[in-house]
């Protein structure tokens, strides 16, 4: 019924969402019941073969076929028949022929990258309905955001995987491959909470968009949020010492903004004096030289005053300014103006270099911080601590970010989610007078999404250690999986 309504009811602007719902309903049934997929193709071939040319129903039937070809393929001799049918109809001179050519391209891409997991998103369906996808080798596009508040629109097709998507992105923005930079593509959370989800190289972009859209609908049933789509951000996830050599100017710029976001949110230790210095550096990178009005009132002009307040809000730690009075903010602005003015003539790239040189003096530079609560029995007396996950291991920090304990990955036996908490077991202390080591179990209470993020991040770092130190032939490999990714260890830690 959904297929017939999609084909026969004319697509008009007010009914686009109606047709989107029909297509999603029909195709979801085929994904849930794979035995219907051959039947779906047979019906669409029959429908497109017996309709009058230049009829809206014929066009919409081909549009539905175009959506199917990127989602799943018929099996056995049905696939051969579909290929022959598309070849017979392929013609660059007709609208129908162009749809057939697009379906041919889509079919080959699906064979190359595999079938999809989720039904088409609203964006994908509307893109097919509003224009013939034949005219674009990459018929869909989405913005990828960066930490400096810029973005790059990147095209993709129904079978594009994250790895292909990032290859296109990196070529456009002059960056190295993720394996060399540690950058990764992350999505926001449909709930609107401060959560990020790292995408795997084999994830399909269309599946990511669709699953996010479905999650949004489930969280807000009955609420029309059709205009909201997933937000993709390209940011540094793994900080490896080997990546510093060969860093491009673009990579350093984005890294400086990312570190400053941690500074601004209180996840990087800086005192008020240093915070003003680095805020001035970032203000210079963002806005160039500070234009100071003449006369004895350096901040008297409305524009510089507004610019200084914006710079404080953007680059100065929130905890240092949010409770300030108007007079205190004015004093802070003047202090920032003095430091900003001393950078006159300094290039943006030089300011970025200085910023990163200062930031890298922190021994835990690059570590990802997770707020956690130690669960008893615990060697830590603090009610709240930071877990800092980095290249060599993880540290437990107090509220002022002083190190309470450090654990190398070589000492980690197992780690991961335990009930609703994060647990890690290490061999940290040797028994007095003996060669054995005592296993120490640490449990930390934290939100479940953060437990998953922390677990996967530790796993990624451990995999990097294993890759850089390949096992000898006689060493057995143990393998474990997490979130669709295979991890290999050599007598190393395992996931719970």
Residues 6+ apart with CB under 8 A from 489: 462, 466, 477, 478, 479, 480
What is the pLDDT, as a whole number, of residue 481?
A: 39
Asked whether the beta carbons of 459 and 482 are under 8 A apart, the reply is yes
pTM of the model: 0.87
What is the pLDDT, as a whole number, of residue 437?
A: 78
CATH class of 368-495: mainly beta
CATH superfamily of 2-135: MyTH4 domain (1.25.40.530)
Q: Report how far residue 292's alpha carbon sits from residue 472's, in angstroms, rounded to the nearest whole number.
A: 64
pLDDT, tens digit (0-9, with 9 covering 90-100), for 432-450: 555 677 889 999 999 999 9
CATH class of 249-359: mainly alpha
Q: Chain-centre distance of CA 477, in angstroms? A: 30
What is the pLDDT, as a whole number, of residue 10?
A: 84
What is the pLDDT, as a whole number, of residue 225?
A: 64
Asked whether the beta carbons of 285 and 253 are under 8 A apart, the reply is yes
Cβ–Cβ contacts within 10 Å for residue 269, how many?
15
Asked whether the beta carbons of 292 and 343 are under 8 A apart, the reply is no
* Percentage of the chain exceeding pLDDT 90: 72
Confidence of residue 474 (pLDDT cuts 50, 70, 90): very low
pLDDT, tens digit (0-9, with 9 covering 90-100), for 9-66: 888 877 788 999 999 999 999 999 999 999 999 999 999 887 666 688 999 999 999 9
Of 139, 101, 5, the C-alpha closest to 61 is: 5
pLDDT, tens digit (0-9, with 9 covering 90-100), for 284-303: 999 999 886 554 444 555 56
Q: Report how far residue 220's alpha carbon sits from residue 195's, in angstroms, rounded to the nearest whole number.
A: 18
pLDDT, tens digit (0-9, with 9 covering 90-100), for 74-112: 998 999 999 999 999 999 999 999 999 999 999 999 999
Give the Å distances, CA to CA, from 392 to 48, 240, 243, 395, 430: 60, 9, 14, 10, 21
Asked whether the beta carbons of 240 and 164 are under 8 A apart, the reply is no
pLDDT reading at 354 higher than 60: yes
Query: Domain segments of the chain: what residues?
Result: 2-135, 140-243, 249-359, 368-495
Q: Which fold has domain 140-243?
A: Ubiquitin-like (UB roll) (3.10.20)
């Amino acid at each position: 019924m959904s297929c017939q309504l999609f084909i026969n009811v004319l697509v008009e602007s007010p009914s686009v969402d109606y047709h989107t719902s029909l297509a999603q309903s029909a195709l979801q049934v085929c994904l849930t019941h794979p035995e219907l997929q051959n039947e779906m193709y047979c019906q669409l071939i029959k429908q497109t073969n017996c309709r009058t040319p230049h009829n809206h129903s014929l066009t919409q039937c081909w549009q539905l076929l175009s959506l199917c070809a990127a989602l799943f393929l018929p099996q056995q001799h049905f696939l051969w028949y579909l290929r022959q049918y598309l070849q017979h109809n392929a013609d660059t001179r007709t609208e129908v022929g162009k749809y057939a050519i697009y379906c041919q391209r889509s079919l080959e891409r699906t064979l190359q990258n595999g079938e999809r997991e989720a039904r088409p998103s609203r964006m994908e369906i509307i893109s097919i309905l509003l224009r013939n996808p034949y005219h674009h080798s990459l018929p869909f596009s989405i913005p990828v955001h960066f930490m400096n508040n810029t973005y790059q629109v990147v095209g993709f097709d129904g079978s594009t995987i994250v790895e292909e998507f990032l290859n296109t992105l990196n070529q456009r923005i002059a960056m190295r491959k993720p394996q060399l930079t540690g950058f990764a593509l992350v999505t926001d959370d449909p709930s609107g909470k401060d959560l990020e989800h790292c995408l795997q190289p084999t994830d399909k972009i269309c599946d990511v968009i669709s699953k996010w859209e479905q999650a949004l609908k489930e969280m807000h049933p009955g609420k029309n949020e059709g205009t909201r789509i997933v937000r993709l951000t390209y940011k540094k996830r793994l900080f490896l010492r080997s990546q510093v050599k060969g860093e491009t100017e673009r990579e350093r710029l984005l890294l400086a903004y990312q570190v400053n976001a941690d500074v601004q949110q209180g996840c990087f230790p800086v005192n008020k004096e240093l915070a003003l210095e680095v805020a001035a550096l970032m203000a210079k990178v963002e806005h160039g030289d500070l234009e100071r009005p003449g006369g004895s009132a350096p901040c008297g002009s409305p524009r510089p005053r507004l610019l200084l307040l914006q710079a404080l809000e953007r680059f100065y730690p929130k905890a240092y300014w949010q409770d300030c009075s108007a007079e205190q903010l004015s004093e802070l602005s003047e202090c920032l103006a003095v430091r900003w003015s001393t950078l006159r003539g300094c290039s943006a790239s030089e300011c970025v270099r200085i910023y990163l040189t200062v930031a890298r003096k922190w021994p835990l530079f690059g570590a990802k911080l997770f707020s956690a609560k130690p669960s008893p029995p615990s060697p830590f007396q603090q009610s709240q601590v930071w877990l800092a996950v980095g290249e060599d291991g993880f540290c437990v920090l107090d509220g002022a970010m002083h190190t309470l304990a450090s654990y190398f990955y070589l000492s980690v036996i197992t780690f991961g989610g335990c009930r609703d908490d994060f647990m890690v077991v290490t061999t940290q202390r040797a028994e007095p007078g003996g060669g054995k080591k005592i296993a120490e179990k640490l449990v930390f209470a934290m939100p479940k999404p953060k437990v998953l993020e922390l677990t996967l991040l530790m796993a990624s770092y451990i995999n990097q250690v294993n890759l850089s130190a390949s096992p000898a032939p006689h060493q057995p490999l143990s393998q474990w999986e997490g979130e669709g990714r295979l991890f290999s260890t050599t007598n190393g830690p395992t996931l719970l």
